[in-house]
Amino acid sequence: MTEHRTRKRFGQHFLHDRNLIDRMIRTLGLQDGDTLVEIGPGRGALTHPLLEEIPHLHVVELDRDLIALLRQEVSADRLTIHESDALKFDFRTLKPADRPLRVVGNLPYNISTPLIFHLLEQADAIGDMTFMLQKEVVERLTASPGTRNWGRLSIMVQYFCQADYLFFVPPGAFSPPPKVDSAVVRLIPHATLPHPAEDEAHLRRLVAQAFTQRRKAIRNSLKSMINLEQFEQAGIDAGLRPDQLSVADYVALANISQPRNDA
């Protein structure tokens, strides 16, 4: 078999610890009839064990060498390979009519955050996402207000999803070992948003602006977007720091300060 060299530009670190792979698969609780898509199958460390549990799997992979290896190893009736950049792929096209899509992957560190946001744009088609990621990113995804990891990523992901830290993964589980720790996270898109924003683009801009001055009172970073009267209307203390406000607080501020086009 052809030996595949890891490619730095794809951020490739291949998972090889079978105990951790089995643990990740157990957390999925796969059911008959699930439509599962794996992002970045790599050398198939997760792909092959998944195919021991389910009859068919979709994978999204960009590296042509890895695609050639997968085609050699797995028959086309069991594995559908989508040769594509996951950041541009339309995951809605894989959703069956009767149930949401399930997504899994050991995500390349260099694209994990933009990829999660790309998937959240398609959250109406997705039931859950289980990812192995840099531990620092997982801590930000699952953080709570008032903690050092609470920030723009936490707020925007938790606006759309329930985020749960599942378990820690050491560098030795990969080849080559990355210089960072990893962890597994599960994201479950809300069926109904608990705190819906009238304008999600405005909410994104407001949250980004709030964290430009993380250590100062929020009235400072948001002075160009929100006046003190609006803070009072929303029932939010303008003297709090940006990392002390909840998702509901940010949605309240976004809804009260949303530009009105009444003309």
Q: Which CATH superfamily is domain 8-189 in?
A: Vaccinia Virus protein VP39 (3.40.50.150)
CB atoms within 10 A of CB 231: 21
- For the chain, the structural domain boundaries read 8-189, 200-257
The two structure tokens encoding residue 229: 């009267």
Secondary structure, 3-state, the chain: CCCCCCCHHHCCCEECCHHHHHHHHHHHCCCCCCCEEEECCCCCCCHHHHHCCCCCEEEEECCHHHHHHHHHHCCCCCEEEEECCCCCCCHHHHCCCCCCEEEEEECCHHHHHHHHHHHHCCHHHEEEEEEEEEHHHHHHHCCCCCCCCCCHHHHHHHHHEEEEEEEEECHHHEECCCCCCEEEEEEEECCCCCCCCCCHHHHHHHHHHHHHHCCCCHHHHCCCCCCHHHHHHHCCCCCCCHHHCCHHHHHHHHHHHCCCCCC
Listed as ranges, residues in the chain with pLDDT below 50 are: 1-11, 262-263
pTM for the model stands at 0.89
Torsion angle in degrees (nearest 10) through CA of 81, 85, 89, 95: 30
CATH, domain range 200-257? 1.10.8.100
pLDDT at residue 203 in the model: 96
pLDDT at residue 3 in the model: 45
pLDDT at residue 214 in the model: 86
pLDDT at residue 232 in the model: 95
With a CB cutoff of 8 Å and minimum separation 6, the contacts of 144 are: 150
| Dihedral sign computed on CA atoms, order 98, 99, 100, 101 | negative
CB atoms within 10 A of CB 26: 10
